[in-house]
Structure 1
Amino acid sequence: MTGHRTRVVITGASGQLGQTLLQVLPTEQYELIALTRAELDISDESVLRARLSEMRPQAIVNAAAYTSVDAAETDDLAARAANATGPKNLARWVAENDAWLLHVSTDFVFSGRNWRPYTPDDQTDPLSIYGRTKLEGELHVRYLAPQHSLVLRTSWVYSEFGKNFVRTMLKLMIEKDGLTVVADQLGAPSSTHGLARCIGAALEKRPLGIMHWQDSGVASWYDFAMAIQDEALAVGLLDKAIPIVPIPTSGYPTPAKRPPYSVMDTTDTVKTLNVQPAYWRHELREVINRLAAVSR
């Protein structure tokens, strides 16, 4: 369709996924409207309706979320507003206005007791308030907009932007003489760049239901930390290696419980969207290279 661009609202546009989408999605194909939380609080339904009715997007990518997993244990009202009420408001609007919603969700909707990759229709059983509020958001979206929405679950998200495991580890590796990192939780690190490519493919095809996306391979947080150090040393982001010691989850108590195993099956996503996840170490290398380029 020459000359016609799809109007897409990106909520949570100042977060790491929002910033990556704005870099990756082709502007000749999409008219991107980036809204930060300050510009649109998705939990405020009357404001949301007024803004969206003014903009008339054909698609919405909901990258807005409350993601402080441990803080959510004592801040459940704020977590629920962002993770459950917000998606409910968006779902209601897209269903009434014949638009399409891609809602980003999380591996934390699972208990992690499966010990085989989770499929989209596997039983959910969140262990934390963060996981529970994200599941509530999914259920609202599925119930209110079944013909107008895709729930896309992902895991261990990181990028060169914002606050995430990679940037935290790099900071600690500069400041500390040694680190201990949990080695008995397994999942797949997911770069926002791979996730953004998946979202780009989904925007073209607008599938419905639930899909999973993560970079390929499996890692523990310890494996992830070791890889971060190796890649950062290779490009001069770090001057020296420090000892990193693997510990069990019991050695690092946190307010929120995490799933011990949250590898997800991406078979359906790959087949439907014709998009292939890259190996997680390769995606990590790209992000480390971007961080190194900025620091030069």
Structure 2
Amino acid sequence: MLNILVTGANGQLGSEIQLISSYYPQYTFTFADRTILDLSNLCTMEDFFETKSFDAIINCAAYTAVDRAESDTELANTINHRFVSMLAKIAKKNHISLVHISTDYVFNGQNYRPYIETDPTEPQGVYGKTKCDGENAILSVASANTVIIRTSWVYSSFGNNFVKTMLRLGRERDSLGVIFDQVGTPTYARDLAQAILEILPNIQNESPEIYHYSNEGCASWYDFAKAIFELSEVECLINPITTDQYPTPATRPHYSLLNKTKIKNDFNLTIPYWRDSLKECLITLGETK
């Protein structure tokens, strides 16, 4: 039986892992939120691991407020980079497997085909840079049985996300403007949680490996919003707008499709189509049948 630590336990992905954990009796879980493991206080990390023993760590913890990161640079760097660096060193020292969650924001968003794992990184903002620095810290430690999983456009039945925001605004307003010139793939956090728990016992690499995971298919934010309203029968007119009509402090990738061939081949994974997973999430939220 593997003893697993899940950091960021109350975030979208951590919450989904908690929800499905009972379906994996081969694992015992320790779910750590900020009250148990304060990511902003690196001095406490060694103490935490000195009194506990783990076979694997799933690092779901991250500073994900993309726009706020532009001004809150120090905290974003502490959580997304410095904490990750220390976690990788602790994992190597104690022979602990590590699964670290990263993001499509490590790329510049100007590609013409789905990104593969070896494409050059070029983050365009603080969030992407700190996540990229976290990846590089893991790669520099070069610990065995370590994987980095990049994902995109994550939503869940837990926490705040695009799906819940659209449902709320769609019922408050007659019309909405939603960006159509940013293309990617929505990712249901429960699908990602299941994939991580499925591949965990099969991680046997001598040095860190990078994988991409999102749901199948592609969409713009406009397409995503249209599907949310269609499946939940919300009557709200959606108007397509361009990125420059909705300025934000942080630059968003215009293109962030991820190629999942590597993770599917290495672990024999079947990945659901994004609209099918969206419907499952809306059923969980009680928004459709």
TM-score, scaled relative to structure 2:
0.95
The equivalent position to 1:37 in structure 2, one of 34, 44, 63, is 34
CA distance in 2, matches of 1:52, 1:10: 13
1:285 matches 2:279: yes
1:242 matches 2:236: yes
1:99 matches 2:99: no
Q: Deviations over 1:28-59 (max 9, x none)?
A: 11110000012102343331121122121110
The equivalent position to 2:69 in structure 1, one of 67, 72, 87, is 72
Equivalent runs, 1:93-172 vs 2, <5 Å: 93-172=90-169
Q: Give the structure 2 partner of residue 176 of structure 1.
A: 173
Describe the SS at the equivalent of 2:25.
Answer: coil
1:262 matches 2:256: yes
Q: Deviations over 1:75-120 (max 9, x none)?
A: 1111111100111111010000011110000000000111100001
Describe the SS at the equivalent of 1:197.
Answer: helix
CA RMSD of aligned residues (A): 1.5
Whether the 8 Å contact between 1:186 and 1:260 is mirrored in structure 2 is: yes
CA distance in 2, matches of 1:53, 1:44: 16
CA distance in 1, matches of 2:24, 2:48: 22
CA displacement at 1:195 relative to structure 2: 0.5
Describe the SS at the equivalent of 2:13.
Answer: helix
Describe the SS at the equivalent of 1:68.
Answer: coil
Percent sequence identity over aligned pairs = 40
173-182 or 200-209: bigger deviation? 200-209
Q: Deviations over 1:130-159 (max 9, x none)?
A: 000000011111111432411100000001
CA distance in 2, matches of 1:266, 1:21: 21
22-31 or 125-134: bigger deviation? 22-31
1:7 matches 2:6: no
Q: Deviations over 1:191-216 (max 9, x none)?
A: 00110121012212115410000000
CA distance in 2, matches of 1:43, 1:203: 27
Kindly provide the amino acid, as one letter, of the partner of residue 132 in structure 1: K
Whether the 8 Å contact between 1:189 and 1:224 is mirrored in structure 2 is: yes
CA distance in 2, matches of 1:50, 1:130: 28
Q: Give the structure 1 partner of residue 19 of structure 2.
A: 23
Q: Give the structure 1 partner of residue 183 of structure 2.
A: 186
Kindly provide the amino acid, as one letter, of the partner of residue 253 in structure 2: P
Q: Deviations over 1:242-269 (max 9, x none)?
A: 1100011111111000110000000000
Whether the 8 Å contact between 1:42 and 1:89 is mirrored in structure 2 is: no
CA distance in 2, matches of 1:38, 1:65: 15
Whether the 8 Å contact between 2:152 and 2:214 is mirrored in structure 1 is: yes
185-194 or 26-35: bigger deviation? 26-35
Structure 1 consecutive aligned stretches of length 4 or more whose deviation exceeds 4 Å: none
CA displacement at 1:275 relative to structure 2: 1.0
CA displacement at 1:292 relative to structure 2: 0.5
Q: Deviations over 1:218-247 (max 9, x none)?
A: 0000000000001111xxxx4xx1110001
Kindly provide the amino acid, as one letter, of the partner of residue 22 in structure 1: Q
Q: Give the structure 2 partner of residue 228 of structure 1.
A: 228
Whether the 8 Å contact between 1:110 and 1:127 is mirrored in structure 2 is: yes
Whether the 8 Å contact between 1:21 and 1:196 is mirrored in structure 2 is: yes
CA distance in 1, matches of 2:59, 2:12: 13
CA distance in 1, matches of 2:246, 2:39: 34
Whether the 8 Å contact between 1:104 and 1:152 is mirrored in structure 2 is: yes
Whether the 8 Å contact between 1:92 and 1:145 is mirrored in structure 2 is: no
TM-score, scaled relative to structure 1:
0.93
CA distance in 1, matches of 2:17, 2:187: 14
Describe the SS at the equivalent of 2:262.
Answer: helix
